Amino acid sequence: DVKVTQSSRYLVKRTGEKVFLECVQDMDHENMFWYRQDPGLGLRLIYFSYDVKMKEKGDIPEGYSVSREKKERFSLILESASTNQTSMYLCASQFKGWSETQYFGPGTRLLVL
Amino acid sequence: SQQGEEDPQALSIQEGENATMNCSYKTSINNLQWYRQNSGRGLVHLILIRSNEREKHSGRLRVTLDTSKKSSSLLITASRAADTASYFCATDSGANSKLTFGKGITLSVRP
């Protein structure tokens, strides 16, 4: 079974802090994604990566950056957390075919005070 | 940008009844996928139907795809309380395109 893990289930941070969310997958998938999920807005893609050191902006990249130094690990960075970044963050991985199933981690619920 | 739109937004049924959820989309697709999310958890893939398929079954799930109407439906037969969750459709629209998720349908199955 594919396993996607996220570093924290719940996180509380202060405005202005730098926040790191980590995602690790164990299936040697090429593609990895970061989404945020907010009530009434569904899932919105922040960034994705199709290979080590490669990254592409999604629909809402502002205020975020990412890092993919190893194939199994994809990190989302909030450079200076703001209250409007309070959300549920979901990581997913996918075999290289773009039409393939995405496998999701359990999510990180981030509260920025 | 949202491609798939689910309907209804919320559905409440009695255990044992069937649940039908619909998804409409705007542009042509390679495939359409349905995912399920239990409260506060990540999404779990349920079923994928390709654009050249019309119907697909997996256990108590039946998915149909009508590309002429740009719509899909997910039927859960003989529902159980454990089916209570949010259900999302996701579309893949072209070469190197990403999945685009709808906003989801909240299904409540009353015991």
For A61-79, write each residue's pLDDT tens digit: 999 999 999 999 999 999 9
Task: Answer yes or no: is pLDDT of B4 > 80.
Answer: no
Residue A98 has a pLDDT of 63
Distance of CA A99 to the CA centre of its chain: 19
The pLDDT-based confidence of B106 (bands split at 50, 70, 90) is: very high
Q: Using the beta-carbon criterion (under 8 Å), do B31 and A99 form an inter-chain contact? A: yes
Handedness of CA A99, A95, A60, B84 (dihedral sign): positive
CB atoms within 10 A of CB B80: 12
d(CA A54, CA A48): 9
CA proximity to A109, closest of A2, A28, A4, A7: A7
- Could you tell me where the beta strands, DSSP code E, fall in B1-111? 5-7, 10-14, 19-24, 31-37, 43-50, 55-58, 61-66, 71-76, 85-92, 99-101, 105-110
Residue B7 is predicted with a pLDDT of 84
pLDDT at B3 over 70: no
What would the pLDDT profile of A9-39 be if each residue is shown by its tens digit? 999 999 999 999 999 999 999 999 999 999 8
For residue B94, what pLDDT band results from cuts at 50, 70 and 90? low
Contact residues, chain A, for B102 at CB < 8 Å: 42
Give the pLDDT score at A40. Answer: 85
B19 exposure class (CB count in 10 Å sphere: 0-12, 13-18, 19+): buried
A80: tokens are 């200076």
What local confidence, expressed as pLDDT, does residue B82 receive? 96
Over pLDDT 70: what percentage of chain B?
94
Exposure class string for A14-48: b at 16+ Cβ within 10 A, else e: eeeeebebbbbbeeebbbbbbbbbeeeebbbbbbb
Using a CB–CB cutoff of 8 Å, tell me whether B110 touches chain A. no
CA distance A78 to chain B (A): 20
Task: Give the sign of the dihedral formed by CA A63, CA A45, CA B102, CA B87.
Answer: negative
- Position A97 pLDDT exceeds 90: no
pLDDT for B33 equals 95
